[in-house]
């Protein structure tokens, strides 16, 4: 077994309609590392994750996971070590209740009843949603759904988590909770996201994709400080790192003669 856990080795993929999604993508990831996968829309993030889960098969190159080469014949084993959290939790929570959904993975792996219920409840406790166990997913809020989706993959005890936009469309509190949760896990994590603040908070390194190619692999700070790189890849630095523009609309003083302030005044009267 190699010293790194996941290894993409010049992987290329072209869709049947001729769209070239990935070309010669190579990077590696260590045990317990959290890697952010960033890039503009269409850069190839989704394709890369789909290849990893074996939903697509690369035309050339190879992907190694824990010393195992991902091929159609090994995919069942690969999926056992991989916890895939989909972008839309509604796609992931297909069973009638949260409990049954979390039990779905382990049950498919052959875990049976005396062990199954404690395993499920334990997982739900870890994600803080044990009280929702018997609720149907359509009664949950966005943040609860996300936590449930994460619980569904944790229950299968994967050694690596793959997350597609884990904080997408969550309110700030729920987003914060998910980030803290992910930080608490010891799993290796590959996190594809447009939320660069989240990536900055969580990831040890980032892989920047641009038009199907790896544009950079580096610690988040290094990448986010490199303005040319970001601009070239169609990205903006995280909000936290953006300098405030010298003359912005941050008017705090309301004064009658300033026309913007007057506008505020006007709307307030309405």
Partner 1 sequence: MHMSDALISPEVGLSMLAIAGGALALSCRSCSREIRSGENLSQIPLMGVLGAFVFAAQMINFTIPGTGSSGHIAGALLLAVLLGPAAGFIVIASVLLVQALLFADGGLLAYGANLFNMGFIPCFLVYPFLWRPLISPNSSRQRIVTVSLVTGIIAMTAGAFTITVQTVLSGITTLPFFKFLMVIVPIHILIGVGEGLITASVVLFTFSSEGAELFLGPKSKRTGSRRTVVAFAIAAAVLAGMLSWFASSNPDGLEWSVARVESTEEAGQQPAADLLHQKSAELQQSTSLLPDYQLGTPKSTDSTAAGSAISWRTSAAGLIGSALTLTLVLLLAMVLKMRQKRSAVPLARG
Partner 2 sequence: MSRLSSTIDGWRSFDSFAAEGLISGLDPRTIILSALCTVIAMTGAGKGEVMVLLPLAAFPLTLLVLADIPPMWLVKRILPVLPFALMIGLLNPWLEQGTVTLPGGAEISTGWFTLASITLRALISAATALLLIASVGLLNISRGLAGLRVPALFITQLQMLFRYFFVIGEEFQRMERAWRLRSGSRRGRMPLKLAAQLLQNLFLRSLARAGRIHNAMLARGFSGEVPAGAPLHWRLRDTVWLAGWAGFALLCHSNLPMLLGTLLTGQPQ
Applying CB under 8 A, among 14, 23, 53, 159 the residue interacting with partner 2 is 53
DSSP tag of 2:
-
131 binds partner 1 (CB under 8 A): no
What's the closest the beta carbon of residue 97 comes to partner 1, in angstroms?
A: 9
Q: Least distance (Å) from partner 1 to the CB of residue 104?
A: 12
Q: Which residues within the stretch 149-178 sit at the binding site for partner 2 (CB under 8 A)? A: 152-153, 156
SS3 assignment for 150-166: HHHHHCCCCCEEEEECC
- In angstroms, what CA-CA distances link 85 with 114, 131, 150, 158? 27, 21, 6, 12
**Structure tokens, 168:** 């997408």
Q: Which of 126, 124, 77, 69 is CA-nearest to residue 100?
A: 124
Exposed (0-12), middle (13-18) or buried (19+): which is 121, by Cβ within 10 Å? Answer: middle
Interacting span for partner 2 (CB under 8 A) from 33-41, 130-138, 179-187, 224-232: 130-138
Which of 98, 190 has the CB closer to partner 1?
A: 98
- 86 interface partner picked from partner 2, partner 1, none, CB below 5 to 8 A per type: partner 2
Question: Considering the rule CB under 8 A, would residue 103 count as an interface residue with partner 1?
Answer: no
User: From CA 157, how far away is CA 163, in angstroms rounded?
Assistant: 15
CB of 86 to partner 2, least distance (A): 6
Q: Tell me how far, at minimum, the Cβ of 63 lies from partner 1, in Å.
A: 23
- Pick the closest to residue 83 from 131, 143, 127, 132 (CA basis): 127
> 44 touches which of partner 2, partner 1, none (CB within 5 to 8 A by kind)?
none
Number of residues counted as binding partner 2 (CB under 8 A)? 32
Contact between 68 and 124 (Cβ < 8 Å):
no
> Read out DSSP for 134-200?
TS-GGGS-HHHHHHHHHHHHHTT--SEEEEESTTTT--HHHHHHHHHHHHH--SEEEEE-S-HHHHH
Query: Between residue 67 and residue 86, which ones bind partner 2 under the rule CB under 8 A?
Result: 76, 79-80, 82, 84, 86
Residue 153 interface partner, choices partner 2, partner 1, none, CB cut-off 5-8 Å depending on type: partner 2
134 to 96, 110, 144, 146, 196: CA distances (angstroms) = 9, 22, 13, 16, 35
* Residue 133, contacted partner among partner 2, partner 1, none, CB below 5-8 A by kind: partner 1
Query: For 139, how many CA atoms within 13 A lie in the half-sphere containing its CB?
Result: 10
The minimum distance between CB 72 and partner 2, in angstroms, equals 12
Can you tell me which of 22, 133, 199, 230 binds partner 1, judged by CB under 8 A? 133
Q: Is 94 in the site for partner 1 (CB under 8 A)?
A: yes
Question: By the criterion CB under 8 A, which residues form the site for partner 2?
Answer: 50, 53, 55, 76, 79-80, 82, 84, 86, 88, 90-97, 100, 103-105, 107-109, 136-139, 152-153, 156
């Amino acid at each position: 077994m190699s010293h790194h856990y996941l290894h993409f080795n010049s992987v290329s993929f072209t869709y049947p309609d001729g769209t070239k999604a990935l070309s010669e993508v190579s990077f590696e990831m260590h045990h317990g590392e959290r890697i952010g996968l960033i890039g503009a829309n269409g850069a190839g993030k989704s394709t890369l994750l789909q290849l990893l889960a074996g939903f697509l098969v690369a035309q050339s190159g190879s992907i190694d996971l824990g010393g195992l080469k991902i091929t159609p014949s090994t995919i069942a084993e690969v999926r056992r070590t991989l916890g895939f959290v989909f972008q839309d939790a509604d796609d992931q929570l297909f069973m009638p209740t949260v409990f049954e959904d979390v039990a779905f993975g382990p049950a498919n792996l052959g875990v049976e009843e005396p062990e199954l219920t404690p395993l499920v409840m334990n997982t739900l406790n870890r994600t803080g949603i044990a009280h929702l166990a018997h609720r149907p997913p359509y009664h949950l809020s966005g943040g609860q759904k996300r936590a449930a989706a994460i619980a569904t993959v944790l229950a299968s005890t994967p050694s690596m988590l793959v997350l597609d936009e884990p904080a997408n469309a969550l309110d700030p509190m729920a987003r914060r909770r998910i980030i803290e949760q992910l930080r608490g896990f010891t799993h290796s994590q590959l996190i594809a996201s447009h939320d660069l603040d989240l990536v900055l908070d969580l990831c040890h390194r980032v892989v920047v994709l641009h038009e199907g190619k790896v544009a950079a692999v580096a610690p988040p700070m290094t990448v986010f400080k490199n303005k040319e790189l970001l601009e070239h890849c169609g990205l903006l630095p995280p909000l936290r790192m953006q300098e405030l523009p010298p003359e912005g609309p941050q008017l705090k003083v309301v004064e009658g003669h300033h026309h913007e302030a007057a506008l505020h005044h006007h709307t307030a009267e309405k």
